[in-house]
């Protein structure tokens, strides 16, 4: 019985180490790191408890251009960017990768949401 409990405890350790909390500053930006003429409509951040924050962007970005955005202080479990990769495409929702929980407070580090048109990804950096 003790061996079984020890095995279960050891098996859970790697799962806990995979979780990552990113502590960020409320003032940040969406940056187009690869591409040209990508339209960013909005960023929607879903709180880990209830509710969400919608941050209007309404900007067309060329490579290395950025649009400043502002988060409220909260813990967010999902962040989605609504983009149109090319002028002929429909708006699409892209989940932002690179975290498990985004914790926004005034002491947090500066970060950006990097968009990559070629890979069609959004990543916290």
The pLDDT value given to residue 51: 96
Q: What is the pTM of this model?
A: 0.81
pLDDT over 60 at 85, yes or no? yes
Per residue in 48-77, pLDDT tens?
999 999 999 999 999 999 999 999 999 999
* Per-residue pLDDT band at 19 (split at 50, 70, 90): low
pLDDT over 90 at 121, yes or no? yes
Output the six-digit token pair for 69. Answer: 């955005």
Which of 115, 123, 124 has its CA nearest to residue 35?
115
Domain limits of the chain?
A: 21-124
Domain 21-124 architecture: Sandwich (2.60)
* Per-residue pLDDT band at 97 (split at 50, 70, 90): very high
C-alpha 48/C-alpha 61 separation (Å) is 29
Question: For the chain, how big is the Rg over CA atoms in Å?
Answer: 18
pLDDT over 50 at 5, yes or no? no
C-alpha 80/C-alpha 91 separation (Å) is 12
C-alpha 98/C-alpha 100 separation (Å) is 7
- Residue 24 makes CB contacts below 8 A (sequence gap 6+) with 71, 102, 103, 104, 108, 109, 110, 111, 124
């Amino acid at each position: 019985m003790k061996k079984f409990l020890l095995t279960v405890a050891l098996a859970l350790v790697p799962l806990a180490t995979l979780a990552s909390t990113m502590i960020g500053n409320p003032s940040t930006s969406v940056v187009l790191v690869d591409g040209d003429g990508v339209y960013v409509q909005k960023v929607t951040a879903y709180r880990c408890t209830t509710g969400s924050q919608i941050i209007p962007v309404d900007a067309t970005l060329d490579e290395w251009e950025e649009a400043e955005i502002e988060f409220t202080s909260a813990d967010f479990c999902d962040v989605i960017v609504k983009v149109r990769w090319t002028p002929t495409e429909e708006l699409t929702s892209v989940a932002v990768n690179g975290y498990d929980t985004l914790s926004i407070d005034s002491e947090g580090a500066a970060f950006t949401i990097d968009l990559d048109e070629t890979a069609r990804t959004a990543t916290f950096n």
